[in-house]
Amino acid sequence: MKGIVFTEFLEMVEEKFGIENVDHIINYSSLPSKGCYTAVGTYNFVEMQQLLFHLSRVTNISVNDLIYNYGLYFFKTLTTQHPYIFQHYNSAIDLVASIEDHIHVHVKKIYPDAELPSFKIIDKSSKNLSLIYKSERCMYMFAKALMEKTFEYYQENVEINFELLNEKGSEVKFLITSYGGVIKESRNIGESFTARKKCPAKS
């Protein structure tokens, strides 16, 4: 897993739960990296699983809910680091439908060793989209959050439903319906990401 996913995650934990909980989840996890990540590095996904597990225990928030909220938080990184992706599409439906064949192709050019989920389009119209998400990391709630924020970015009302196709959630069917219109929330996509080495102090 790319380091930017770790650095942004720890930034979210610090912002939402405090620096003491950043130190806590690192100290209680067995991390070959020792919790010292760079945005361009590559790290074992097991480290993220441990961080999520210990954050869930200390906050009493389920792992899936943490993953979902992290997806909402991470969206600003996509819009600030890769704004051309959003400029290329006129609607959220078109962007989401192009994840597999366009967006992930560009991601691979930037991060050749990135391990990405697959998104297979089942059916698509101007207002509806159904697709199958597949990933052994089972972070479908992260994908759901990013899709929701994409529709918010384009100021479209949306309903996103999903069905787990297996128990662990490595294969999930998403049903997306866009209702168009302008949502009431502002189009604020958050502060810009500053790439830096994050190595929290041990207690």
Tens of pLDDT along 114-150? Answer: 889 999 999 999 999 999 999 999 999 999 999 999 9
pLDDT tens per residue across span 54-88: 999 999 999 999 999 999 999 999 999 889 889 99
Average pLDDT, the chain: 89
**Sheet with 118-124, side-by-side order of all strands:** 118-124, 128-134, 171-180, 157-164
Measure the CA–CA gap between 188 and 203, rounded to whole angstroms: 36
Query: Which residues 6+ apart lie within 8 Å of 49 measured at CB?
Result: none
- The pLDDT value recorded for residue 144 is 98
Domain ranges of the chain: 3-61, 89-180
- The pLDDT value recorded for residue 72 is 98
Q: Which residue has the higher pLDDT, 126 or 202?
A: 126
Torsion of CA 43, 20, 196, 154, to 10 degrees: 90
User: CATH homologous superfamily of domain 89-180?
Assistant: H-NOX domain (3.90.1520.10)
Q: How confident is the model at residue 2 (pLDDT cuts 50, 70, 90)?
A: very high
